Amino acid sequence: MTVNSNTRTSSEVFVIESDNLREGLWPIRKRVDKVQYFLEHHNGFFYILTNAPVNDTETTTEGYYLARCRAEKSLVDRWQIVTVPDSDCTIQDMDIFHDNLVLFLRKNGTPLFCSISMPIDVDVQEPKELDDLNPWFFPIPSELCSIVAGSNNDFMSSTYQLVISSPVIPDLTVDYDLRKKTFTILHQEEVTTISANLGGLGFQSNVSSIQQNMQLVKTSQNWSDLSKLFSCERVEVISHDGVSIPLVILYSWGAHCHGESPGILYGYGAYGEDLDKSWCSERLSLLSRGWVLAFADVRGGGDLSWHMAGTKANKMHSIQDFAACGRHLIKQGFVHQNRLCAIGCSAGGLLVGAVINMLPDLFSAAVLKVPFLDICNTMLDPTLPLTVLDYEEFGDPNSPDEFEAISSYSPYDNLAPDVCYPPVLVTASFNDTRVGVWEAAKWVAKVRDVACPSCSQSVILKTNMQSGHFGEGGRFTHCDETAFEYAFLMKALGLDDVAMM
């Protein structure tokens, strides 16, 4: 049995042997700052995913690599590197079964999955190239996919399940046969309301064709998408320091109007989390009205090196990246310069709030959902649940240098007097244990106090007195909240259905 102890940037694993409980817990390796490792047991070996240094000149590696050691207390410090991925590829996770090892990969921003037959040659002394392990890469429908593992609890199984979706691919549940190297589509979400949403825009013939194709999934191995109705493209935006930032842009082929359309830019950029780009039927309401929806993968999210490039003193990179993506949408004619909106949730609210302070004219409206806005004061209170953990993400404000860095972008502390801020909807949850309800209330109160009088009236605070950080729960409650947010943005831009159609 293994016991994992993790912070946001380091980890430690303890083992207790089921046939020798008196021995108690013992560590595989003691914790080292900024070093993470995770392990699985297989046939007398521990297989380890880690960024531990491979030589004495390094502190960590750029990303994770695969290592292993004997599952014996006297030998666990002798790690043997199995494979180190190429510079354009990262290993993100792994699953181990009796006959197969499944690796979760990302190559040039594209998610990949592959299986490797187990056990791996135990006589290997030098790291192997991944291709030398004869991996089978799972067929996937699109490089813009969001992929999560399904229910894979049977260690003896030779089938691996994934749930796949993208902005134009309704959720797919797929079983991959690791032995036969084939796949079976078990289910794909049906889009039953697409005619109602898009039929009035001259797409009826295309809609009928798409709906017929969607039915093929039940009798064939073809996955279906809505790419005939919607464009979904990934572009690279050059940020302030020359780094390319991935931006996914989604719009309707028939309803989008070049240079005139309204749009929403989504961002998060923290904790190494990928921005969610999975299928969401609620977006059809906006897409059918000509809106452009864009997803900025700014630094601070994503894999290990991309995450570290947007933490602590580097946090300003995330903010500049998001601003660059917004300017790109306007400059390239995807969105009208007076119709660009932004949405950020939690740490994404910090991102959007910081850009609003830096460039108050960039966004014409914004929605900040349970936003982290008063970062300086929150990080100075170690009694709050996440403060000490967040030192690794944002820095420790007890250090003068790190306090200065945090202060430079804190949304609350950088509100300026007599500035015309855009209309902003701020939502808060009274029972939120991650981001205090007072942060949203303080920010709104200060905006109303310091902004120009006409702008201060367009900042709204909406507090749910029952919910926590992730909302109240329930499908219909979520739909109500989303409808309220969309209605706010439309009203803020002065748009209605007649004008937009």
Q: What is the pLDDT of residues 99-142, one digit of tens each?
A: 999 999 998 878 999 999 999 876 657 888 999 999 999 999 87
**457 has a pLDDT exceeding 50:** yes
Count CB neighbours of 477 within 10 A: 14
8 Å CB contact between 191 and 198: no
Closest to 85 (Cα-Cα) out of 51, 124, 47: 51
Q: How many residues does the chain have?
A: 501
- The number of helices, as runs of H, and strands, as runs of E, in the chain is 13, 23
CA distance 497 to 501: 6
Helix (H, G, I), strand (E, B) or coil at 209: helix
What pLDDT, on a 0 to 100 scale, did the predictor assign at position 121?
A: 78
Element (DSSP H or E) covering residue 482? helix 475-493
Q: Which domains does the chain have, with CATH numbers?
A: 2-137 (2.130.10.120), 163-226 (no CATH), 230-500 (3.40.50.1820)
Lowest mean pLDDT among 18-27, 269-278, 341-350: 18-27
| Cα 380–chain centre separation | 27
Choose, from 318, 328, 432, 458, the residue flagged as catalytic: 432
Most confident stretch, 71-75, 178-182, 213-217: 178-182
**201 has a pLDDT exceeding 50:** no
Lowest mean pLDDT among 351-360, 370-379, 450-459: 450-459
Residue 42 makes CB contacts below 8 A (sequence gap 6+) with 96, 101, 118, 119
**198 has a pLDDT exceeding 70:** no
Give burial (CB, 10 Å; 0-12/13-18/19+) of 229.
Answer: buried
Alpha helices per DSSP H over 251-379: 283-287, 304-308, 315-331, 347-358, 375-379
Its pTM surpasses 0.95:
no
In the chain, helix, strand, coil percent, each to 5? 25, 30, 45
Whether 346 sits among the annotated catalytic residues: the reply is yes
DSSP one-letter code for 304: H
Work out the average pLDDT over 202-216. 41
Three-state SS letters, 438-476: HHHHHHHHHHHHHCCHHHHCCEEEEEECCCECCECCCHH
Choose, from 166, 346, 458, 467, the residue flagged as catalytic: 346
Whether 469 sits among the annotated catalytic residues: the reply is yes
What pLDDT, on a 0 to 100 scale, did the predictor assign at position 211?
A: 43
**316 has a pLDDT exceeding 70:** yes
Whether 432 sits among the annotated catalytic residues: the reply is yes
Choose, from 175, 227, 274, 469, the residue flagged as catalytic: 469
What pLDDT, on a 0 to 100 scale, did the predictor assign at position 123?
A: 64
Q: Considering the chain, what percentage of its residues have pLDDT values greater than 70?
A: 91
